[in-house]
Amino acid sequence: MAHFAISTRVFFGRTAFNELAGYMKGLGLERLAFIADKNIENSEAFLRLCSNFERNGFAIQKGVFMETSGEPSYDSLDEFTGNLRGVDTQAIIAIGGGSVLDMAKGVGILLKNSGRGIDYRGMDKVQNPGIPVICIPTTAGTGSEVTHTASFIDTQAKTKLGINGRHVSPLCGALIPELLFSCPRKVAVSSGLDAMLHAIEAVSAKTANAATVMLGAKAFSLLYTHFKGALEAPGNYEAWEGMLLGSYLAGVAMMNAGGGPASGISYPLGVHFKVPHGIAGGIFLQHVFDYNISKGYPGYLNVYNCLPDADYSLELKKRSSDFADKFRKLYKNIGAPERLSEWGWSSIDVSLLTELTMEQRKANLELNPVPFGREEVKALLEHVV
């Protein structure tokens, strides 16, 4: 595969808001509705952002806050869309983590396309452009501010799929580090690991190409460099800016390359046992690294060579092992769980998850650079439950 696409304009840095406001004014988007994470409703950064919109002449027609205790379903998308039907809005401002941004993208679609959310499950099912959506993330994780995917759970089929492809990408996004300063530590760890997962699988997937490898490697390096600093100093602007840029680049890369086994197994794990997507995939990473390296996969060198503490005196094979060791050290330093039970998830049925993965996510397994089948899925799960 040797193609690459991106359709979303993203503003970042200290001038992000002013440039975003000017861009929206130029498009005539002045009547706005907000969809925001309930957890930030009274935060200083969110209130200041709303005031900035109003001071710049935008009219906030309605604000709706979303509970984010679990991942959104197609049913909740239908229900949530009802909150904004009939509202005179020209654009939706989404402020929150990946679930909020995905919900806003889905609502924007349903406001301009008839039917239910589940009618658009799959690829390129959306016929008409939706209400323009502007995504402002409050976590550095999913990269949803740039992707053409909005993920939802099908509660009847008990699978996590999505509305993907044409007309799903946001109009634009803004990366504003201050909005992440109050991010709870567990959320920050989970979302950061999610971004690292996107970055590395954009490098290692069989469908990767030169562009996704380059972006994925840079994204992983940014996240690796700034992760610990962002957690230790929540008001560290530079660290959170690095995390946001890493998450964004990882989302771009992943969208163009696809995923792998860690992503694939995380889907049924999230649906059936309510494990957040970032932790569900992130906890597998070190084990996937060890497995692929043991089978002779050399591709992690593309990432290792971008790390600020890469040791170029090592032989090539030892660099791969050093890459896995460096990630393992970071993983421990950020306090991520070695086993899911450490963060409250126990009694996970390994046999059930193995079968669900083989039934629902085999395509992800086939993207791994070396063969990865049923026995490998089972062994991976046994490492972390």
Tell me: do 123 and 207 sit in the same domain: no
Q: Does 4 map to a domain?
A: no
| Strand (E) or helix (H) holding 287 | helix 285-294
pLDDT in tens, 247-274: 999 999 999 999 999 999 999 998 888 8
Tell me: do 369 and 266 sit in the same domain: yes
Q: Does 42 map to a domain?
A: yes
Tell me: do 190 and 128 sit in the same domain: no
Asked whether the beta carbons of 75 and 155 are under 8 A apart, the reply is yes
Asked whether the beta carbons of 353 and 269 are under 8 A apart, the reply is yes
Tell me: do 82 and 134 sit in the same domain: yes
Tell me: do 95 and 240 sit in the same domain: no
Of the three residues 126, 147, 180, the one that is the final residue of a domain is 180
Tell me: do 316 and 370 sit in the same domain: yes
Tell me: do 156 and 298 sit in the same domain: no
CA dihedral 123, 210, 263, 350 (to 10 degrees): 130
Asked whether the beta carbons of 172 and 121 are under 8 A apart, the reply is no
Range 92-131 burial, b when 16+ CB lie within 10 A, else e: bbbbbbbbbbbbbbbbbbbbebeeebbebbeeebbeeebb
CATH (domain of 270): 1.20.1090.10
Tell me: do 109 and 29 sit in the same domain: yes
Q: Which domain holds residue 94?
A: 9-180
pLDDT tens series, the chain, 385 aa: 567 889 999 999 899 999 999 999 999 999 999 999 999 999 999 999 999 999 999 999 999 999 887 789 999 999 999 999 999 999 999 999 999 999 999 999 999 999 999 999 999 999 999 999 999 999 999 999 999 999 999 999 889 889 999 999 999 999 999 999 999 999 999 999 999 999 999 999 999 999 999 999 999 999 999 999 999 998 999 999 999 999 999 999 999 999 999 999 999 998 888 888 888 888 999 999 999 999 999 999 999 999 999 999 999 989 999 999 999 999 999 999 999 998 888 888 999 999 999 999 999 999 999 999 999 999 999 999 9
* Amino acid letter, 285: L
Of the three residues 119, 154, 180, the one that is the final residue of a domain is 180
Q: Where does residue 311 rank: exposed (0-12), middle (13-18), buried (19+ CB within 10 A)?
A: exposed
pTM of the entire predicted model: 0.95
Question: What confidence score (pLDDT) does residue 237 get?
Answer: 96
Q: Does 290 map to a domain?
A: yes
Instruction: Look up residue 168 and give its two tokens.
Output: 């799903």
Tell me: do 378 and 350 sit in the same domain: yes
Q: Into how many domains does the chain fold?
A: 2
Tell me: do 168 and 189 sit in the same domain: no
Tell me: do 57 and 176 sit in the same domain: yes
Relative orientation angle of helices 261-273 and 285-294, to the nearest 10 degrees: 150
Nearest 5°: phi and psi at 201?
Answer: -75, -25
CA distance 14 to 146: 19
CATH (domain of 32): 3.40.50.1970
CA distance 2 to 13: 31
Label residue 319 left, alpha or beta by phi (over 0 means left) and psi (-120 to 50 means alpha): alpha
Tell me: do 265 and 372 sit in the same domain: yes
